[in-house]
Amino acid sequence: MRVAGLRVRHRRTLALDSVDLDFGPGVHGLLGPNGAGKTSLIRVLATVAEPAGGRVEILGHDALDHRRRAAVRRRLGYLPQEFGYYPGFTVREFVAYVAWLKEMPADTAPAAVERAVARVGLADRIDAKVRTLSGGMVRRVGIAQAVVNDPRVLLLDEPTAGLDPKQRVDFRELLRELGASSTVIVSTHLVEDVAAACTDVTLVEGGRVAYRGTPAALAALGESAGGAGDHPIERGYAAALRAHRAAAARTAGPAAAEGAVR
Q: In sequence order, what DSSP letters do the residues of 200-245 get, joined into one string?
A: EEEEEETTEEEEEE-HHHHHHHHHHH--S-SSHHHHHHHHHHHHHH
Residue type for position 229:
G
Per residue in 121-143, pLDDT (tens digit) is: 999 999 999 999 998 899 999 99
| Domain locations along the chain | 2-251
Architecture in CATH for domain 2-251: 3-Layer(aba) Sandwich (3.40)
The 3-state DSSP class for residue 111 equals helix
Closest by Cα among 159, 154, 113, 119 to 138: 159
CA separation for the pair 144, 157 (Å, rounded):
14
User: What are 40-55's pLDDT values in tens digits?
Assistant: 999 999 999 999 999 9
- Record the pTM: 0.91
- The mean-pLDDT minimum among 17-21, 161-165, 180-184, 250-254 falls in 250-254
Q: What is the mean pLDDT of residues 233-255?
A: 84
- Residue 124 has a pLDDT of 97
pLDDT score, position 228: 64
What was the pLDDT predicted at 229?
66
